[in-house]
């Protein structure tokens, strides 16, 4: 029976899973967003959010606990200096998972996991960016393109100018 076993093992041994989550957390902290499968992103969210909460209290003890999880001093420094300052007033929910489709090889559901305060498109303080996607119109609703009147181009004289 699997009572009280709520973490996804992701088809890996315990040591492999811990190493993978540590590496993914380090990449997320350093790059602010990463692309991965949906199952890994959901497990990574459970792994990273307590570390971000811990980083709000900048003490030696907190740094040692986070370093024991990440094993990368540059990621720990980035977490405690920049990320904790940006999310200091947020009570939780530091990451966002955006589904991006399916992987071509094995049809695994892919997504992008990112820190909420580092995406200017969705933050409330930043202006909303206009979407760059355009819709293709069908042949039925396509309007004929308006022709632009061509302006006659003045022909240049072949005579050299005398100075």
Q: In which order are the strands placed within the sheet that holds 109-115?
A: 33-37, 109-115, 95-102
d(CA 119, CA 59): 28
pLDDT on residue 110: 97
pLDDT tens digit string along 40-63? 999 999 999 999 999 999 999 999
Extract the tokens encoding 56.
Answer: 């709000």
107: alpha, beta or left, given left = phi > 0 and alpha = psi -120 to 50?
A: left
pLDDT tens digit string along 1-32? 889 888 899 999 999 999 999 999 999 999 99
pLDDT tens digit string along 82-102? 999 998 888 999 999 999 999
pTM of the predicted model over 0.75:
no
């Amino acid at each position: 029976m699997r009572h009280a076993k709520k973490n996804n093992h992701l088809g890996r041994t315990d040591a492999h899973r811990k190493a993978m989550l540590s590496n993914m957390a380090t990449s997320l902290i350093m790059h602010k967003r990463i692309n991965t499968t949906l199952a890994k992103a959901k497990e990574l969210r459970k792994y990273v959010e307590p570390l971000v909460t811990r980083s709000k209290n900048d003490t030696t003890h907190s740094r040692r606990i986070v370093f024991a999880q990440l094993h990368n001093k540059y990621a720990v420094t980035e977490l405690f200096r920049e990320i904790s300052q940006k999310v200091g007033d947020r009570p939780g929910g530091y990451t966002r998972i955006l589904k991006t489709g399916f992987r071509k090889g094995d049809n695994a559901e892919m997504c992008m996991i990112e820190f909420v305060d580092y995406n200017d498109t969705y933050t409330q303080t930043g202006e909303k960016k206009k979407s760059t996607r355009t819709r293709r119109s069908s042949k039925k609703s396509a309007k004929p393109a308006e022709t632009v009147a061509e302006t006659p181009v003045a022909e240049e004289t072949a005579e050299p100018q005398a100075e």
